[in-house]
Amino acid sequence: MLKPVVKTPCIGVCSTGIGDAVCRGCKRFSHEVIHWNGYTHEQKAAIDGRLADFLSRCVSNKLAVVDQALLLWQLQVQQLRFNTEHDEYCQVFSLLKAGAGQITRTEDFGFTVHAEYRDLSLPQLRVLIDQEFYILSEAHYDRYMRTPDLFAGDAR
């Protein structure tokens, strides 16, 4: 069985060229952006999985997908690009990126906003989710890439 191609997460808004360790666009680490084309399928899948997991966490903290079939139908009707390998929370974020300002009834798109975020507009919510996604990616980078191994030289 053929493995599905892991497409680059790049969205054309790279900030690693101006010195960011984590891209503000796709949330990959700078070395992942630089070496992407040289990575194996497994390496690309691991990066893609980490990013999808982080995004899904940020979205699910603010939204609930109540009808995944309706969400998928809307994505197809709207002719939006989305990754079928990612979960429904990543998919709803694709919807928000493309047209948060045009959605008036979230239920018509298969999701609802958690009560504590209902005072925000969907474009504001999209920005908040993206900011939290960046913060989570940056924290992961700081902990696992920037910090020296805590057990280096430990003779356990």
Has residue 3 been placed in a domain?
A: no
Has residue 93 been placed in a domain?
A: yes
For 82, half-sphere exposure in the C-beta direction (CA atoms, 13 angstrom radius) is 25
Using an 8 Å Cβ cutoff, are 16 and 7 in contact? no
CB count in 10 Å sphere of residue 88: 21
Token digits of residue 150:
């805590």
Q: Which domain holds residue 119?
A: 54-143
Q: What is the pLDDT of residue 153?
A: 57
Residues of the chain with pLDDT under 70: 1, 148-156
Helix H segments across 16-110?
Answer: 30-35, 41-60, 68-77, 88-99
Number of independent structural domains in the chain: 1
For 126, half-sphere exposure in the C-beta direction (CA atoms, 13 angstrom radius) is 16
Has residue 59 been placed in a domain?
A: yes
Q: What is the pLDDT of residue 156?
A: 47
Has residue 11 been placed in a domain?
A: no
Token digits of residue 135:
């913060």
Has residue 64 been placed in a domain?
A: yes
Has residue 24 been placed in a domain?
A: no
